[in-house]
Amino acid sequence: MSTGMRVDDREPASEAADDDTLGAGYRPLLFSIAYGMTGSVGDAEDVVQDAFLGMTRARRAGTVINDPKAYLTTSVTRLGINHLRSARVRRETYVGDWLPEPVVVPSDGQGPAEHAELADSLSMAFLVLLESLSPVERAVFMLREVFGYGYPDVARITGKTEVNCRQVFARARQRIGTAEQGRDSAPRPERRAAGEELARRFFEAAAGGDMDSLLGMLAPDVVFHGDGGGKARAVRKPVVDPQHVAQLLVGGLRRVRMMEISLRPAWVNGRPGAVLCDAGGRVASVVELEIADGAVRAIHSVSNPDKLAHLGPVSDVARRKEPRPKGQ
């Protein structure tokens, strides 16, 4: 990844600033990898920052880094693996369903998820499926399947052999092979427009208590997942059956209206959804809709306040715009 070289005599602060400038164009990709590994916006931002700090220290120690993108990608992935190994213990005692921290932009934003280059592959459902993999399996599968890295690069990044990476990927793909089933193959503009329209009608029907319309938009195998983390009101187990899901939604939004909580359309992890906020602008919940074949197949609702803190007031969310995705 790098070779040793003489240390220059520049000030540390200047070196760090140079590294930030040099790697600024890579941040969307690095965040996407870190978020895909950790499922946490805050942890992903910390991992990316640690990777930049590590590069600055390495250069200060006399290392020349010929390919900053490769260096940072490797660092972020390995830091993500280490993070997952310690996070698994905490998640074993998590109260109720575990869902990732939502990545949110307003419905009129430039893209489906702030920071994330490949948000179509970082939906909540996909990230939950990745939880069944070991940290190394997750890294190999994500680098190969989501970000399109070749096996030689995956091997270099993870520190494994190419043969081993092929075996790891095959096992991981077999374990979560249904992850891609039901994905809409239509071009993104059409998907986005259709998703926005269905989400609009969906939330209107739920808020208005229109059970017939709501049931007409739910897939027969629809499932509702709620994550309150034991700190906010949420279902402890997934709710299945369209009738039960519709009743849950109508009852929930009835309580929302009584509490003077407003609902604003948004893109959540690359999927249509909504942000629910109180009169003071505090985000109370974020909802993501998984849509396939013109119907809502899954609903993910995050109300754990610890997972919403990074969003700040809803006015801050509304101001956010996503940088345009950059190819590798």
Using pLDDT thresholds of 50, 70 and 90, give the confidence band for residue 162.
Answer: very high
Using pLDDT thresholds of 50, 70 and 90, give the confidence band for residue 70.
Answer: very high
Per-residue model confidence as pLDDT tens digits over 287-305? 999 999 899 999 999 999 9
Using pLDDT thresholds of 50, 70 and 90, give the confidence band for residue 5.
Answer: very low
More confident residue, 312 or 253: 253
Q: What is the mean pLDDT of residues 150-166?
A: 97
- Report the alpha-carbon distance of residue 245 to residue 214 in Å, rounded: 10
Per-residue model confidence as pLDDT tens digits over 77-109? 999 999 998 877 677 788 889 999 999 887 665
Q: What is the mean pLDDT of residues 160-188?
A: 76
Q: Write the DSSP string, 199-237.
A: HHHHHHHHHHT-HHHHHHHEEEEEEEEEE-TTTS---SS
Place of tokens 């930030």: 20
What pLDDT score does 194 carry? Answer: 85
Say whether domain 188-319 belongs to CATH 3.10.450.50: yes
Place of tokens 């939330």: 203
- Look up the pTM and report it: 0.83
Q: Is the pLDDT of residue 322 over 50?
A: no
Positive or negative torsion for Cα 114, 118, 123, 126: negative
Q: Is the pLDDT of residue 268 over 60?
A: yes
Using pLDDT thresholds of 50, 70 and 90, give the confidence band for residue 256.
Answer: confident
Please determine whether the domains at 1-93 and 188-319 fall in the same fold group of CATH.
Answer: no
- Other C-beta atoms within 10 Å of 88: how many? 12
Using pLDDT thresholds of 50, 70 and 90, give the confidence band for residue 20.
Answer: low
- Report the alpha-carbon distance of residue 305 to residue 322 in Å, rounded: 23
Percent of all residues in the chain with a pLDDT value above 90, rounded to a whole number:
59
More confident residue, 125 or 15: 125
3-state secondary structure 106-118: ECCCCCCCCCCCC
Q: What is the mean pLDDT of residues 231-255?
A: 93
Domain boundaries defined on the chain: 1-93, 188-319
Place of tokens 């939502």: 102
Using pLDDT thresholds of 50, 70 and 90, give the confidence band for residue 48.
Answer: very high
DSSP β-ladder status, 104-106 and 239-240: unpaired
Q: Is the pLDDT of residue 224 over 70?
A: yes
Q: What is the mean pLDDT of residues 222-240?
A: 94
What pLDDT score does 195 carry? Answer: 87
What pLDDT score does 170 carry? Answer: 95
Using pLDDT thresholds of 50, 70 and 90, give the confidence band for residue 258.
Answer: confident
Average pLDDT, the chain: 83
Task: Assign domain 1-93 to its CATH architecture.
Answer: Orthogonal Bundle (1.10)
Q: Is the pLDDT of residue 112 over 70?
A: no
Q: Is the pLDDT of residue 172 over 50?
A: yes
What pLDDT score does 181 carry? Answer: 47
DSSP tally for the chain: helices H, then strands E: 12, 9
What pLDDT score does 261 carry? Answer: 86
Give the dihedral of Cα atoms 51, 56, 62, 63; nearest 10 deg: 40
What pLDDT score does 105 carry? Answer: 81
- Report the alpha-carbon distance of residue 100 to residue 98 in Å, rounded: 7
Q: Is the pLDDT of residue 138 over 80?
A: yes
Give the dihedral of Cα atoms 300, 301, 306, 309; nearest 10 deg: 100
What pLDDT score does 23 carry? Answer: 66
